[in-house]
Amino acid sequence: MFILRFVVAPIIAILGAIFVGLIIMGIDRILAARMQSRVGPPLRQPFWDVKKLMIKENIIPENAISWLFNAAPVICLAVVSTILLYLPLAGFSPILAAHGDLIVVVYLLILPALAKVIGGFASGSPFASVGAQREMVMMMSYEFPLAIIAVSVAWLLSKVHPSLDAFSLQAIATHPVWGLVKGPLGIVGLILLLVSLLVVTPGELSVIPFDLPDAPTEIVGGVLAEYSGRNYALFYLASAVKLVVLPSLLIAIFFPYGISGLFNVGAAAAGVIDVVFFLVKLFVILFFSVTCVHVLAARLKIDQLVNTYFMAMTAVSLVGLVLIVLDAAI
């Protein structure tokens, strides 16, 4: 059982997340192309990209700190894959349910961005250094509203169920937040927290309009400008896994529901139904928070990005927290 839970299950979860993430990348590119009246690449294009990168030469810049430069993509993929093991996926308990909680996930979400920053500075490229600086600014901007969301949800759960571990994602997923509030103030507060997390999602994924650290037309790929071959492929795979991690976190907090109970089927069939429903929720969240946003919006300036996250989304999150507290007090 130990081998199944802590060896086989993590491998299946990570490989499954990579596969689903690459599929979502393909679907996103197709939908974005259709929305812009283009043909777009085939669905399997992300898989071809990874295959090609894996066999390309891995070039290390002459002025780079080679060991840091090579370590950064490995750290990025490893951390993102680790986050996956703390999340309840498709109705299944987190693989590392007893070894971490929402606070651990929030902290771990910082590390992939830090890995990109380290890799950018270690490359010795001026373009990458500019991208790394932008990555740090963006990371500091969206971490504050993300922390407020985590504290708000944990406070609400601890208020209603004081005997539970309020920061446990498994506890949060099994006690949906919508059933913990008493009235309209709490509902509005949760909606504001949901909106804030939806806006944070494309920033965490560094997609347009929040792709300032890369910005190919401005800084030639930015933080990843000097990466190629297997190193770039690892960053690419980390991005694919993150496409599963971020919406999975949102689902665990706000939409942890399954639909297998509506069908009179066996346990195996019920599991399949919940997995399919989970993937549908995953796709819907990414379609509205990522695909539609990067098709409709142009890249923000750095001051606009800071105002969006550090000012606007922080204010929205704080208002949501205040409304939830007032709802509990009334």
For the chain, how many structural domains are there in total? 1
Q: Could you tell me the pLDDT band of residue 129, with boundaries at 50, 70 and 90?
A: confident
Q: Name 92's bridge partners.
A: 89
Stretch 111-134: mean pLDDT: 85
Per-residue model confidence (pLDDT) at position 300: 75
- Confidence check: pLDDT of 217 > 90: no
Which residues make Cβ contacts (< 8 Å) with residue 272, sequence separation at least 6? none
Instruction: Give CA–CA dist 111/90, Å, rounded.
Output: 25
What percent of the chain shows pLDDT beyond 70?
A: 96
- Confidence check: pLDDT of 220 > 70: no
| CA dist list (Å): 225 to 70, 125, 184, 240, 311 | 14, 8, 49, 19, 30
Q: Could you tell me the pLDDT band of residue 80, with boundaries at 50, 70 and 90?
A: very high
What crossing angle do the helices spanning 229-254 and 267-286 adopt, rounded to 10°? 110
Q: Could you tell me the pLDDT band of residue 78, with boundaries at 50, 70 and 90?
A: very high
234, 112 Cβ separation under 8 angstroms: no
Residue type, 77: L
How many other C-beta atoms lie within 10 A of the C-beta of residue 299? 16
- Confidence check: pLDDT of 23 > 90: yes
- Confidence check: pLDDT of 100 > 70: no
Q: What does the block give as tokens for 317?
A: 């999150």
Q: Hey, is 183 helix, strand or coil?
A: coil
Instruction: Give CA–CA dist 208/289, Å, rounded.
Output: 11
Stretch 133-162: mean pLDDT: 87
pLDDT tens for residues 264-323?
777 778 788 888 899 999 999 999 888 888 888 777 788 888 888 888 889 999 999 999
- Confidence check: pLDDT of 211 > 80: no
169, 245 Cβ separation under 8 angstroms: no
**Domain that includes residue 116, residue range:** 2-329
Alpha helices in the chain (DSSP H): 2-3, 9-35, 45-55, 66-84, 102-108, 110-122, 126-160, 169-174, 184-205, 216-219, 229-254, 267-286, 292-296, 302-306, 314-329
What letters, b where the CB count within 10 A reaches 16 and e where it falls short, cover 4-14?
eeeeeebeebb
Stretch 116-141: mean pLDDT: 83
Per-residue model confidence (pLDDT) at position 219: 67
How many other C-beta atoms lie within 10 A of the C-beta of residue 240? 23
278, 196 Cβ separation under 8 angstroms: no
